Amino acid sequence: MQALITGGAGFIGSNLADRLLAEDHAVTVYDNFSTGQRDFLLQAHQNKRFRLVEGDLLDRERLTQAMAGHDTVFHLAANADVRFGTHHPERDLQQNTIATFHVLEAMRTQGVKRIAFSSTGSIYGEPQVFPTPETAPFPVQTSLYGASKLAGEGLISAYCTGFGFQGYIFRFVSILGERYTHGHVFDFYRKLLSNPHEIEVLGNGQQRKSYLYVQDCLDAILLAMTRAQEPLNIFNLGTEGYCCVNDSLTWICDHLGVQPHRRYSGGERGWIGDSPFIFLDTTKIRSLGWKPRCTIREGVIKTLQYLQHHRDLLLRR
Amino acid sequence: MQALITGGAGFIGSNLADRLLAEDHAVTVYDNFSTGQRDFLLQAHQNKRFRLVEGDLLDRERLTQAMAGHDTVFHLAANADVRFGTHHPERDLQQNTIATFHVLEAMRTQGVKRIAFSSTGSIYGEPQVFPTPETAPFPVQTSLYGASKLAGEGLISAYCTGFGFQGYIFRFVSILGERYTHGHVFDFYRKLLSNPHEIEVLGNGQQRKSYLYVQDCLDAILLAMTRAQEPLNIFNLGTEGYCCVNDSLTWICDHLGVQPHRRYSGGERGWIGDSPFIFLDTTKIRSLGWKPRCTIREGVIKTLQYLQHHRDLLLRR
pLDDT in tens, A136-190: 999 999 999 999 999 999 999 999 999 999 999 999 999 999 999 989 999 999 9
Q: Is B111 helix (H, G, I), strand (E, B) or coil?
A: coil
Q: What is the mean pLDDT of residues A240-262?
A: 96
Q: What is the pLDDT of residue B269?
A: 92
Per the DSSP assignment, residues forming a β-bridge with B162 are none
Helix (H, G, I), strand (E, B) or coil at B82: coil
Residue B169 has pLDDT above 80, yes or no: yes
Residues found in chain A: 317
> Angle, nearest 10°, between helix axes A60-67 and A99-110?
40
Query: 3-class DSSP state for residue A216?
Result: helix
Dihedrals φ, ψ of A87, to 5°? -75, -25
Looking at residue B79, what is its pLDDT? Answer: 93
Percent above pLDDT 90 for chain B: 93
Minimum Cα–Cα distance from B126: chain A residue: A161
Give the pLDDT score at B80.
83
**Coil, helix or strand for A257?**
coil
The pLDDT score that the predictor gives to residue B154 is 98
Q: How far is A132 from chain B (nearest CA, A)?
A: 11
Q: How far apart are CA A79 and CA B151, in angstroms?
A: 17
What does the pLDDT read at residue B223? 98
Q: What is the pTM of this model?
A: 0.96
Which residues in chain B have their CB less than 8 angstroms from residue A86's CB? 162-163
Tell me the percentage of chain B whose pLDDT exceeds 70.
99
| Mean pLDDT computed over B98-106 | 98
- Look at residue A317 and tell me whether its pLDDT is greater than 60: no
Strand partners, A234: A169
pLDDT at B317: 55
pLDDT band at B314 (very low <50, low <70, confident <90, very high): confident
A192/A262 Cα distance (integer angstroms): 11
Q: Is the peptide bond before B231 cis (omega within 30 degrees of 0)?
A: no
Q: Do B134 and A136 touch (CB under 8 A)?
A: no
What was the pLDDT predicted at A81? Answer: 79
Q: What is the distance between the alpha carbons of residues B215 and A239, in angstroms, rounded to a whole number?
A: 51
Q: Is the pLDDT of residue A205 over 70?
A: yes
| Contact: B139, A138; criterion CB under 8 Å | yes
Q: pLDDT of B61-83, one tens digit each?
A: 999 999 999 999 999 999 987 78
Mean pLDDT within A238-263: 96
In chain B, which residues have their Cβ closer than 8 Å to the Cβ of A90?
Answer: 101, 105
Q: Counting one residue from A and one from B, how many pairs have CB atoms under 8 Å apart?
A: 124
Query: Active site includes B159?
Result: no
Is the pLDDT at A97 greater than 90? The verdict is yes
Helices of type H across chain B: 11-22, 42-45, 60-67, 89-92, 99-110, 144-163, 184-194, 214-227, 245-256, 283-286, 296-309, 312-316
Residue A315 confidence (pLDDT)? 80
pLDDT at residue B89, rounded to an integer = 93
More confident residue, B85 or B193: B193
Query: Which whole number is the average pLDDT over B57-63?
Result: 98
Q: Tell me which of A55-64, A82-91, B67-76, B244-253 is least confident.
A: A82-91
Contact A143 B150 (CB under 8 A): no
Domains of chain B: 2-175+212-237 (3.40.50.720), 177-209+241-278+294-315 (3.90.25.10)
Which residues in chain A touch residue B274, judged by CB atoms under 8 angstroms apart?
Answer: none
What per-residue confidence (pLDDT) applies to B273?
86
Question: Which one of the listed residues A30, A145, A180, A213 is annotated catalytic?
Answer: A145
Cα angle, residue B289 at apex, residues B285 and B294 outer, rounded to 5°: 80
pLDDT in tens, A129-145: 999 999 999 999 999 99
Question: For the residues A243-269, what does the mean pLDDT come to?
Answer: 96
pLDDT at B272: 87
B147 touches chain A (CB under 8 A): yes
Q: What is the mean pLDDT of chain B?
A: 96
A84 contacts chain B (CB < 8 A): no
pLDDT score at B305: 97
With the C-alpha atoms ordered A15, A19, A22, A26, is the resulting torsion angle positive or negative?
A: negative
Taking an 8 Å cut-off on Cβ atoms, the answer to whether A144 and B158 are in contact is yes
